[in-house]
């Protein structure tokens, strides 16, 4: 059994453990660690040395011993349908409407799976610059940050 404080168990139950449709936990902290370990070890079976089960056991042990814990998205999502393991994505935004709205669409998909996003608007022309294709005036990066 993993040695966790009562508070840690409450946080795991509220935010991390797999739940049924009514919101009741259907796994213990140990089962969560096993779910995560098995999922992460799949990469070793596919890309590594083929010792997937051995790696799963090693990952499980270091989590149970609290020597290493992965980030929140990995604990929440590993072994589940969407499987989002990354916490943060930085999306480039080029100076075109197509690029701006492609970044917005990608952000929505990332957010749906539990990831977070940051954007680089440094390529957008400043407010007031002339837009050659329309002879209009650019609204600037801030206007697109409000979208």
Question: How does pLDDT run across 63-121, given as a tens digit for each residue?
Answer: 999 999 999 999 999 999 878 899 899 999 999 999 999 999 999 999 988 889 999 99
Contact between 18 and 80 (Cβ < 8 Å): yes
Among the listed residues 111, 15, 131, the one whose alpha carbon sits nearest the alpha carbon of residue 143: 131
């Amino acid at each position: 059994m993993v040695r966790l404080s009562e508070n840690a168990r409450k946080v795991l139950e509220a935010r991390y453990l797999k739940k049924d449709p009514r919101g009741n936990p259907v796994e213990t902290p140990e089962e969560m660690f096993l779910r995560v370990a098995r999922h992460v070890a799949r990469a070793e079976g596919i890309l590594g040395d083929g010792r997937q089960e051995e790696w799963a056991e090693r990952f499980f042990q270091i989590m149970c011993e609290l020597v290493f814990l992965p980030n929140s998205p990995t604990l929440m999502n590993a072994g589940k349908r969407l499987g989002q393991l990354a916490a943060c994505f930085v999306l480039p935004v080029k100076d075109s409407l197509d690029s701006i709205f492609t970044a917005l669409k990608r952000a929505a998909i990332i957010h749906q799976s539990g990831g977070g996003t940051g954007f680089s608007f440094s390529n957008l022309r400043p407010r007031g610059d002339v837009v050659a294709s329309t002879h209009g005036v650019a609204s600037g990066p801030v206007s697109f940050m409000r979208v």
